[in-house]
Structure 1
Amino acid sequence: MSRAPPREGPSPTGVAVSPEVEAALASGGAVVALESTIICHGMPYPKNLQTAMEVEAIVRENGAVPATIAILNGVPHVGLNSEQLKNLAISGSQFQKTARRDIAQVVASGSNGATTVSATMFFAHKVGIPIFVTGGIGGVHRYGEKTMDISSDLTELGKTPVAVISAGVKSILDIARTLEHLETQGVTVAAYRTNEFPAFFTETSGCKVPCRVDSPEECAKIIYANQNMHLGSGILIAVPVPKQHAASGKVIESAIQQSLKEAEYSPSSLLSFLFLYVCACTCSWVNMYVYEQYNVNLIICTLFLSDKRIIGNAITPFILDRVKVLTGGSSLEANIALVKNNALTGAKIAVALSDLRKRVTNSKLILTSL
């Protein structure tokens, strides 16, 4: 009996799966989910389009099918064609940044949404894609124990059985508390060919990981065991930035620390500084105090940047934009390099998982026939 051709429109689940992705899933092939927020909100045009196409090409060259996920006119799409990718890249921030909490609103209003880690995981699992590649995940923000500013990425990892391949979390976050929260959520955390959790732009963070994996096959076994045991939680596989970009990573890290300080100055602290700064013009001991207690150049810069403290989901975009300026754009190149490296690793893991599943299926068929 011949198989029905792949659907072109939304499936009964309300998700439009591309023919290429649907055919790969039906045959047990390797598929890698990709987010769209990095295209719309992470890079300028045309660099974002070029990167998206190169990442998809890397996935294909290594034996897997890429499935970029986005919401187009209220319809979730898994797997985009070249025209849809171009539309994403050109539209940029006109596409709403869409986490799990935003999905219903974006779909109901017929809007366009660029999926974050949590939304991409949700749709990947919904259609049966077990592996998702991204740049870095969100986490517990600094002072998160007071603000409760914790990314929904962590909650999603705790309840959605998808393996996320990333370069860890950015050092703008509280990495130690992020790992503690992942443990609370029951998420398996593994570092790829290292014993230390990477910090996105840099190879190390000072935080050890409970699990080290050294090959795509080893990763595949963990993913398969997680699915076979129906644990219901995700897996985070952290891949260090390529060594050739580690040196620039240290420069970027320095810029991140400066940007964090800029974001932390509140209106009250700025007013205090201005008062002391005026006093410093007439009193030498106050002058000494100002320069000991404050980074004067930094605060003057901050006065021109913002008239209020940067808080909530505005922190990450603010800091990444500042880092890009402070590093002369080298942070963007490092970001692209690590995303490509993650795509390479993720594709190899997807192929290894596909091969493992087929071997297990064949073994069961042989045993059944005996």
Structure 2
Amino acid sequence: MISPVLSDDVAAALADGAPVVALESTIFSHLGLPSPNNREALDRCLSAIVDGGAVPAVTAVLDGVPRVGLSADEHARILGPARKAAERDLAVAIGQGWAFGATTVSASVALAAHAGVSVFATGGIGGVHRGAELTGDISADLDAMAHHPVITVSAGAKAFLDLPRTLEYLETVGVPVLGWRHDDFPAFYTRSSGVPVPHRVESADEVAAILAARSRDRSGMLVAVPIPEGDALDADTLDGVLAQALTDADAAGIGGAAVTPFVLGRIGEATAGESVPANLALAENNARVAAEIAVAVAGRAG
């Protein structure tokens, strides 16, 4: 059983019943945003959580030790080279003593749950890939949300995924999907995928009440937060780029986890770098909403 090591501030907050928001570390590593944007993302997310009245808890595996919460002098370590660690890789990262395992959504949700953290913020989740009926390519993020009692706050899922099937899968495994003051499931860089969310919520108190009333104590939920309107990319342009990128990826034999960086790279090229500011804005916004929800969850528990 994984027993993550908590930073002093996270341990104190949990002992006091204070709000805590977990963060993944992949987005801040070289696997996520390019330097120096990754540092900016980290600073903006941490500040949004602190300003919202919660304690940030970055998750990672450092020197083979699973961590929930890092000290300021450790932040530089997560900005550089890393090995990606999904939930399935955590035991390997620990057993083999990886110097830096950058936690994905599934690993971060798992570590948060083991630490007793109820709210997790990320950019966008993985999901069911297009053509999954042939490849079986379904992100472990969905399974993690189904099996750990953590609220995941994200800007929906990456637009190149099969979003209707992603929502269908979440329904099948019993994960409530809540649209944050929005009726449609967001598609990361754009506010709407054109697919309606099953339920809409207007406040953090509603989210906390839904968490408390769920029928499965060990399952989580997804709060889908659209990117701020002024930071969204043009949907028509993005659709064209995605279609061509997916065609090119297929022709090149690129599949599985390699699809994400390939497609995101194409988006960055086609949007003249506008995708990076959009990514920063949505990550910060998700962290802000997650802090609000964490405060409500803590208040209800108290």
Range into which the TM-score falls when normalised by the shorter chain: over 0.9
- TM-score under structure 2 length normalisation: 0.96
Amino acid in the other structure paired with 1:74: G
Runs of 5+ unmatched residues, structure 1 = 1-11, 266-307, 359-370
Larger RCO, structure (CA 8 Å, separation 6 or more): 2
Task: Determine the structure 2 residue equivalent to 1:72.
Answer: 62
Specify the alignment match of 2:226 in structure 1.
240
Equivalent residue in structure 1 for 2:18, among 19, 29, 36: 29
The residue that corresponds to 1:17 in the other structure is 6
SS in 1 for 2:232: helix
Tell me which amino acid in the other structure corresponds to 1:207.
V
What corresponds to 1:109 in structure 2? 96
Cα-to-partner distance string for 1:113-143 (whole Å, 9 max, x where unaligned): 0000000000000010000000000000000
SS, match of residue 351 in structure 1: helix
1:121 aligns with 2:93: no
Equivalent residue, structure 1, for 2:196: 208
**Given the superposition, is the C-alpha separation of residues 21 and 250 from structure 1 closer, same or farther in structure 2, using an over 3 Å criterion?**
farther
Q: In 2, distance between residues paired with 1:119 and 1:133? A: 13
- How many residues end up aligned between the 2 structures? 300
* Percent of paired sites with the same residue: 44
Q: Residue type matched to 2:249 in 1? A: A
1:156-167 pair list within 5 angstroms: 156-167=144-155
Query: Which letter maps to 2:180?
Result: Y
Structure possessing the higher radius of gyration over alpha carbons: 1
| SS of 1:165 mapped into structure 2 | strand
Q: Distance in 2 between matches of 1:185 and 1:232?
A: 12
Equivalent position of 1:300 in the other structure: none
**Counterpart check, 1:81 vs 2:81:** no
Higher helix share: 1
Q: Distance in 1 between matches of 2:235 and 2:283?
A: 14
Following TM superposition, by how much is the alpha carbon of 1:97 offset from its aligned partner in structure 2, in angstroms?
Answer: 0.4
The one of 186, 197, 216 equivalent to 2:185 is: 197
Please report how far the alpha carbon of residue 257 of structure 1 lies from its aligned counterpart in structure 2 after TM superposition: 2.6
Q: C-alpha separation between the residues in 2 aligned to 1:55 and 1:329?
A: 20
Q: Tell me, what secondary structure is at the counterpart of 1:139?
A: coil
Name the structure 2 match of 1:61.
51
Q: String of CA shifts for 1:118-176, please: whole Å, max 9, x gaps.
A: 00000000010000000000000000111100000011111111100000011100000
Q: Any idea what SS the aligned residue of 2:222 has? A: strand
Find out whether 1:351 has 2:292 as its counterpart.
no
Alignment pair present for 1:177 and 2:121: no
Aligned pair partner of 1:217 in 198, 205, 209: 205
5+ residue gaps, structure 2, are none
Amino acid at match of 1:129: V
CA gap 1:82/1:218 in 2 versus in 1, 3 angstroms: same
Moved over 3 A (4+): 247-254
Give the counterpart of 2:120 among 127, 132, 135: 132
Q: Does residue 324 of the first structure (1) align with residue 259 of the second (2)?
A: no
1:83 to partner: Cα distance: 2.1
Normalized against structure 1, the TM-score is what? 0.78
1 CA distance for matches of 2:50 and 2:217? 30
Q: Name 1:287's counterpart in structure 2.
A: none
Evaluate the alpha carbon distance shift between residue 235 and residue 323 of structure 1 in structure 2; reply closer, same or farther with a 3 A threshold: same
Q: In structure 2, do the counterparts of structure 1 residues 328 and 247 end up closer, same or farther at CA, with 3 Å as the change threshold?
A: closer
Cα–Cα, structure 1 residues 130 and 148, in superposed 2: closer, same or farther, change >3 Å?
same
Give, in whole Å, the separation in 2 of the partners of 1:140 and 1:189: 15
Aligned counterparts of 1:250 and 1:22: Cα–Cα separation in 2: 46
> Which deviates more, 253-262 or 36-45?
253-262
CA distance in 2, matches of 1:21, 1:330: 34
Shift of 1:13: 5.6
> Aligned equivalents of 1:187 and 1:131: distance in 2?
15
Question: CA offset at residue 231 of structure 1?
Answer: 3.3
Counterpart amino acid of residue 62 in structure 2 = L
Shift of 1:256: 2.3
Structure 1 residue 178: Cα displacement: 0.5
Letter in structure 1 aligned against 2:242: I
How far residue 233 of structure 1 moved from its aligned partner, in angstroms, is: 1.3
